[in-house]
């Protein structure tokens, strides 16, 4: 199961910089590509608003 970005996201960009495989993309809402996510948890650990979870 890949990580997902919830409604608490403030679009700060921290997760994009932290993702080692580039699975996170910007848009109207940030999103994580489940086919690219390796479930490492780096994005969730770095998220200041706690918006990323499994």
**How far does the chain reach from its first CA to its final CA, in angstroms?**
7
Asked if the structure places residue 54 within a domain, the reply is no
pLDDT at 1: 83
pLDDT at 19: 98
Domains held by the chain: number: 1
User: Residue 10: which domain range?
Assistant: 4-49
Burial class (CB in 10 A: 0-12, 13-18, 19+), 1: exposed
pLDDT at 28: 83
Q: Where is 32: in which H helix or E strand?
A: strand 31-32
Q: 31-40, pLDDT tens digit by residue?
A: 999 999 999 9
What's the rounded mean pLDDT across residues 9-32? 95
Asked if the structure places residue 19 within a domain, the reply is yes
Asked if the structure places residue 8 within a domain, the reply is yes
pLDDT at 42 over 90: yes
CATH of the domain at 32: 3.30.70.20
pTM tops 0.75, yes or no: yes
């Amino acid at each position: 199961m890949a990580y997902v970005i919830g409604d608490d996201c403030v679009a700060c960009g921290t997760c994009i910089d932290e993702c080692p495989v580039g699975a996170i993309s910007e848009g109207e809402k940030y999103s994580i590509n489940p086919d690219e996510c390796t479930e490492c948890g780096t994005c969730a650990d770095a998220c200041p608003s706690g918006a990323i979870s499994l």
